[in-house]
Amino acid sequence: MSDTTPGDPNAPALPEAEGPAVGRDEWVARHGERRLTRGGRLGEMEDRLRAVPWWAFLILFLAVASLMPAVEASGYVRRVGFDTAIYMLLALGLNVVVGWGGLLDLGYIAFFGIGAYAYAIFDSDKFGIHLPTIVAIPAITILGAVIGLLVGLPSRRLSGDYLAIVTLFFLELFETVMLNGNQIFGHNITGGANGILNVDPLSFFGHTLVTQHQGIFAVSYYYVALAVFAVVFVALRFANLSRIGRSWRSIREDPLAAEVMGMPINWLKLTAFATGAGVAALTGTIETSLTGSVFPLNFSPTVLITIYAMVILGGSGSQAGVVLGAILVNVLLQVLENPDQARVLFYLMIVVGVLATFRFTRRLAVLAVETIVLGFVIHAIVSAVHPSWATEGHNGFSGLMSHWVLVPENLTPWVGQVAYGVLIASVLGITLLRGWARVIALPPVLYLAAFVWENLMIPNPGPTRYIVLGLLLIVLMIARPNGLLGERRVEIV
């Protein structure tokens, strides 16, 4: 396998191969070799980074994260930090199922909901039960894992598609049951659409962690979430390095081969599934202890796609990757809420995308000049013909951009609808073009994209965020299925 050493004879000898790694085939191994032989400063840096053990990164990350509230003390930042930690936990759990087990679990958010509801039922005034936190959290985590096991059971001898159906239906069912749970044989258990309110905050040995401190979000919850994150991260890390982690990866790579080797693949699938469910349930308890309430609609498929986008963007199978994905996606969602930041983000992404595609070539120069000129020409013509279509005069970045892109005072709905439709069609069409044809055709599309973004998408952050996440999933699956930090996998036929 390694007898074809590429490159010049003076190159340093390759490190001794570590022997065949489980769950890797020849192509992946060669990919690893290529990485080892990558020269230059970049390769050197990569080698050094690879030599740093994973726990060093974890400690560094935790240190930076725990210093964050000290740097920026606003309640908003703390709350976003807490949410990010929750998302990181959820992404870690989903990574076990999707990244390691290779199972498509579309009911993952239901287990998050089960944890949240279980905590709300066992720790609130609703039934007057107040379990101590130290008992409730482990018990609910196990409950989540057991329910996960039960849900996975019917699909154990079936292919991945059937698991996807059963789990997706389970999510839908969970929502239905929680919505109608106020009339189960005349008993009100889940509070229906009104949810359960006044859930206890966390308390340890009689010491209660308040959720609000002098009107702003108490920082203690942020640290609790971080601590739980650290524990879950390390536990899953060890699981992955151990025998069961190797087995999980083997069923992901080739279930048939694993079965032939005598692995109990059904049991392994179920454990992966149950582990993910347990982590989700655990996360649900922490989330609910802070928010103090649960509602059925908190656990909709829209949350599911958010978590999937995190895992796929970061790189499914890589723990550091999914954590990075969780941070990036949550920041993205926050940015999309703010019109000014969303505007800057859009143009930044365009510039980065164009730079990455064309590098510093003549094509880039032509493209840039063409795009800028096109915008000013359109702007000049339209403002001469129809002045109310080209408003100007905001300050800052948006004011600057309003000299280029058209921002009508009142956009007639059909104009936006047509522009959006044409934009989608032309973006799809442009992927079919190659070479100079693409360079020539791109500027109008970019201009149209800016127009749609400014006039249609920035004013509607609700749908826009899920459009962006949906697109992210499609584009990533096609262009870079291994995400940012994941390892590329190959299907062996």
Partner 1 sequence: MPTFLQLTLDALTLGSVYALVALGYSLVYGVLKLLNFAHGDVVMVGSFIGYGALQAFGGAQSPAVPVWLLLILITLAAMAGCAVLGVAIERFAYRPLRNAPRIAPLISALGVSFFLANSMQLLFGAQQRDYQSYLLSGGSLYFRGFDVDTVHVPLLRIITISSAFVLMAILWFMVNRTRTGRAMRATSFDGEAAAMMGIDVDRVIVFTFILGSALAGAAGVLLGLRIPTFTAIGFTLGLKGFTAAVIGGIGSIPGAMVGGLLLGAAESYTAGYWTTSWSDLVVFSILITFMIFRPQGLLGRADIRKV
Interacting residue with partner 1 among 33, 46, 172, 370 (CB under 8 A): 172
**Region at 195 (left for phi over 0; alpha for psi -120 to 50; beta for the rest):** left
222, two tokens: 């942020």
168 vs 234, beta carbon nearer partner 1:
168
Q: Shortest Cβ distance from residue 469 to partner 1 (Å)?
A: 7
- Would you tell me how many other CB atoms lie within 10 Å of the CB of residue 139? 16
141 vs 167, beta carbon nearer partner 1:
167
132 vs 301, beta carbon nearer partner 1:
301
Element at 299 (helix H, strand E): none
Please say whether the beta carbons of 311 and 322 come within 8 A. yes
Please say whether the beta carbons of 91 and 283 come within 8 A. no
Q: Shortest Cβ distance from residue 155 to partner 1 (Å)?
A: 6
179, two tokens: 């919505």
DSSP label at residue 388: G
Interacting residue with partner 1 among 155, 275, 283, 298 (CB under 8 A): 155
Residues 324-383 close enough to bind partner 1 by CB under 8 A: none
Q: Does the CA dihedral 44-50-51-55 come out positive or negative?
A: positive
Q: Shortest Cβ distance from residue 169 to partner 1 (Å)?
A: 5
Distance CA 405, CA 392 (A): 10
The 3-state secondary structure of 11-66 reads: CCCCCCCCCCCCCCCHHHHHHHHHHHHCCHHHHHHHHHHHHCCHHHHHHHHHHHHH
Contact window for partner 1 (CB under 8 A) among 159-167, 263-271, 359-367, 375-383: 159-167
Amino acid identity of residue 288, one-letter, is T
Contact window for partner 1 (CB under 8 A) among 149-157, 213-221, 353-361, 379-387: 149-157
36 vs 448, beta carbon nearer partner 1:
448
- Among 183, 192, 199, 173, residue whose Cα is nearest residue 111: 173
- Binding string, residues 449-468; x marks residues near partner 1 by CB under 8 A: -------xx--x-xxx-xx-
58, two tokens: 């974890």
Interacting residue with partner 1 among 67, 173, 372, 381 (CB under 8 A): 173
Residues 71-100 close enough to bind partner 1 by CB under 8 A: 98
- Binding string, residues 243-272; x marks residues near partner 1 by CB under 8 A: -------------x----------------
Quickly tell me which residue has 């036929």 as its tokens.
493
Question: Judged by CB under 8 A, does residue 471 bind partner 1?
Answer: yes
160, two tokens: 């991945």
Please say whether the beta carbons of 485 and 315 come within 8 A. yes
Contact window for partner 1 (CB under 8 A) among 44-52, 173-181, 290-298, 372-380: 173-181
Cβ burial of 448 (10 Å; 0-12, 13-18, 19+) is middle
254 vs 370, beta carbon nearer partner 1:
254
Distance CA 366, CA 358 (A): 11
Q: Shortest Cβ distance from residue 422 to partner 1 (Å)?
A: 12
Distance CA 24, CA 228 (A): 32
CA angle 49–54–58, rounded 5-degree value: 110
201 vs 486, beta carbon nearer partner 1:
486
Residues 402-431 close enough to bind partner 1 by CB under 8 A: 416-417, 420, 424, 428, 431
Contact window for partner 1 (CB under 8 A) among 2-10, 349-357, 392-400, 476-484: 476-484
Q: Shortest Cβ distance from residue 103 to partner 1 (Å)?
A: 8
Interacting residue with partner 1 among 80, 136, 166, 178 (CB under 8 A): 166
What is the maximum span of the chain, computed from C-alpha positions, in angstroms?
Answer: 81
Contact window for partner 1 (CB under 8 A) among 41-49, 75-83, 220-228, 297-305: 297-305
Our measurement of the distance from residue 457's CA atom to the centroid of its chain's CA atoms, rounded to an integer in Å, reads: 21
Helix (H/G/I), strand (E/B), else coil: 294: strand
- Binding string, residues 177-216; x marks residues near partner 1 by CB under 8 A: x-xx--x---------------------------------
Q: Rg (Cα) of the chain, in Å, rounded?
A: 26
Contact window for partner 1 (CB under 8 A) among 151-159, 272-280, 370-378, 434-442: 151-159
Please say whether the beta carbons of 387 and 330 come within 8 A. no
21 vs 158, beta carbon nearer partner 1:
158
Contact window for partner 1 (CB under 8 A) among 139-147, 233-241, 305-313, 391-399: 305-313
The residues that touch partner 1, with contacts defined as CB under 8 A, are 98, 102, 104, 106, 154-155, 157-162, 164-166, 168-170, 172-173, 176-177, 179-180, 183, 256, 301-302, 305, 308, 312, 416-417, 420, 424, 428, 431, 456-457, 460, 462-464, 466-467, 469-474, 477-478, 481, 489, 491
